[in-house]
Structure 1
């Protein structure tokens, strides 16, 4: 498949890197330095120029593209690019926007702006935050099989009850599968085998029924995951903060919002009647103490700048908040945030790149979650007659699959099936599997 990516920033570069191994990728960007850097780092063709310029698109041979992804940081540029492509090519267009008003228009009028599929950065970030808030102690949560299956990453503290146990010893859950272990939380994702020891300060990736994933969360950190999340404080009334509060309220959680600007605070109070809104400086320790920030089950810092979000998150933790989640605009700061005390750092651009990458995978790959770092993935595939799994037990089929693959879950007619060695996979089943980076191409062809 030929994929044309317009915009070589964090989102575009990440998409190009993820797709270049298995697809022909062409990247267009107005910045010659970005184009040159991407040409050296990835196996892509690159063109310097404005993606809204028809001459530039023709130079990139847009007429040969199967998919065009407009991923610059400017909404209007992305929409103009898609509209231009829609006129001169039959390519499927994907447009990235930050403002939800464009998304609402597109949803109300399918095909508006010449966009076939639209992703909204702020909305995706808010949804990622809400999933993590809903599962205390989780680092990342992704739904599969229409919500019947969850993939979750958990950091294992050094004093966790399961630290030092093997995977076989920690696996006490009928409807859950350990698929990977990342040593020290940032190493290469290794397949979780029965004799793999779960070290303290490592990260584990599990796939299973949502109920079993929650039970496992309690086994990692019994006190931290025991209670229901009821009190969430959103610091910063940005669009991401508003969307996060809105979705928390839809789950029955009564959020508190702290917004410095009085006019914006008043606007939020009118738009979100289920939330309590304060107009104050969230970096004021006396205010945080007075408003009992220590009672919060989670604090979400989304202040628009990384420095302010980091400060607010750390102050809230110091005052006793159970958990701090921060929106990080610069992907290179994610590890820094989590090293200095933020529990989970969410980078909107990375979340967006993952969503677009998922949508541009081979058509049979219905869902993809990228395990960072290293490029390993958890994928959902509907099994057809040509699949190596069709009509065979998992044990038999594993002989024809590379070592870096673990079947984590199966759903059949909407029902969860626990994958075991003697489980026979049927045509039409949805299989959720962990795949190491170096096994992507072979697995894609066989599953």
Structure 2
């Protein structure tokens, strides 16, 4: 695919690296000389220096032949204009990073007369096929985690019927046994195991060790029972401390309040504290979140969860470790780079999340030739879980799984047909129009994709 990316900041640069790594023809538009030099040193792609809101710059980038234009500058308004212009010039698909929630859905314009119908603008009216807000995506994920019985990140497939959930192996019954000898209470597939900095897509004879992070794919209704095999349920969080009252911290607090969690926000800016206090019910405290004595005075240790959301990944990891030292049971930190996730979890952080990685997963699926429903990237993006719709002439269709020659580093986890979930057996046959859920090393994604169309 021919992909144009406007803006080479953290999100744009990350997507450019991902798309180029998958073999797409990528062009980046960026105004900053520093950003262009940095990206040029990292990737062998075409980079145009200039502002993407300029039609002449978009013409130079040849957006008229683009399969996708991704607008990821720091300006919501610029991103909307870039998508509108690109669509008018012939781009097939457009994606806009939009942080302001007011721009993200329907925009209802007032009328001069109550008798006249109000005008409703949708993102499609503005030439935008997909709006992505990394901060809101991350906030929604944290709400899901803290409302679960287990402290686990999760993704959904098959229209929510199937969940992919991470559990830390701490209970003895499953440890040091080959996977094919474990008596699971419900049908499931072991998708991925991470052990320190090592990541594997396990075979039947592989074993689960103490402390492994195990990703399970199963029916959503069975996940709580399966979780009890791996670890002790912690229960849903009823209180949380958020360190960092920026945009993402605010969104997290807002969503936790919606599910009845008592929230305390620690923010060093007095002005920002006042703004948050005007809009939320949360207790807002001005202070330095890295001051251990201050955290003790604020009785942070009594909270069920600590969420570190400052703009610095390294500080968030440090704050998480401080919370761990205080005895808080649930520690979640945000990191800007997916590569930090294994490092953070290795040093003791319960869950590290990258808003960039979560947002990129929503964009990446649009750049696949095969019909892709969902993409989830794990373990610092070394592995991905993909839900494909099997094509009519797909090489994988109408053959017993025992006869398929899947690349090493890939595995069929489950498939659905007419809403029914099946976990693969040697004699299972996947048919056209089935939804197949696959685990594979990210480096193999372009090879595996060819099996499905």
Is the TM-score greater than 0.5? yes
Query: Does the 8 Å contact 1:131/1:142 carry over to 2?
Result: no
Query: Does the 8 Å contact 2:8/2:36 carry over to 1?
Result: yes
Structure 1 residues 160 and 366: CA distance shift in structure 2, 3 A? same
Inter-partner Cα distance in structure 2 for 1:103 and 1:66: 22
Greater alpha carbon shift after TM alignment, 69-78 vs 59-68: 69-78
Structure 1 residues 135 and 166: CA distance shift in structure 2, 3 A? farther
Alignment of 1:396-407 (within 5 A): 396=403, 399-407=404-412
Partner of 2:364: 357
2:79 is equivalent to residue 78 of structure 1:
yes
Structure 1 residues 231 and 74: CA distance shift in structure 2, 3 A? same
Partner of 2:178: 166
Partner of 1:279: 285
Pairwise CA distance, 1:263: 6.3
Inter-partner Cα distance in structure 2 for 1:67 and 1:349: 18
Pairwise CA distance, 1:197: 2.1
Partner of 2:19: 19
Partner of 2:188: 176
Partner of 1:444: 449
Partner of 2:242: 234
Query: Does the 8 Å contact 1:366/1:380 carry over to 2?
Result: yes
Per the normalisation by structure 1, the TM-score is: 0.85
Q: Of 124, 138, 146, which residue of structure 2 is paired with 1:125? A: 138
Unaligned 5+ segments in structure 1 are: none
Pairwise CA distance, 1:65: 0.7
Residue-by-residue CA offset, 1:332-352 (whole Å, 9 max, x unaligned): 654554344322222222322
Structure 1 residues 321 and 112: CA distance shift in structure 2, 3 A? farther
Pairwise CA distance, 1:358: 2.5
RMSD (CA atoms): 3.1
Per the normalisation by structure 2, the TM-score is: 0.84
Inter-partner Cα distance in structure 1 for 2:231 and 2:49: 51
Partner of 1:338: 345
Pairwise CA distance, 1:438: 4.0
Pairwise CA distance, 1:178: 0.7
Residue-by-residue CA offset, 1:254-275 (whole Å, 9 max, x unaligned): 44444556665565456445xx
Partner of 2:436: 431
Query: Does the 8 Å contact 2:339/2:381 carry over to 1?
Result: no
Q: Secondary structure at the match of 1:175?
A: coil
Partner of 2:115: none
Partner of 1:93: 94
Runs of 4+ in 1 over 6 A off after TM superposition: none
2:304 is equivalent to residue 297 of structure 1:
yes
Query: Does the 8 Å contact 1:105/1:112 carry over to 2?
Result: no
Query: Does the 8 Å contact 2:164/2:218 carry over to 1?
Result: yes
Q: Of 391, 395, 408, which residue of structure 1 is paired with 2:402? A: 395
Residue-by-residue CA offset, 1:292-320 (whole Å, 9 max, x unaligned): 54443322122344465445433332222
In the alignment of these two chains, the number of paired residues is 438
Structure 1 residues 255 and 175: CA distance shift in structure 2, 3 A? farther
Partner of 2:420: 415
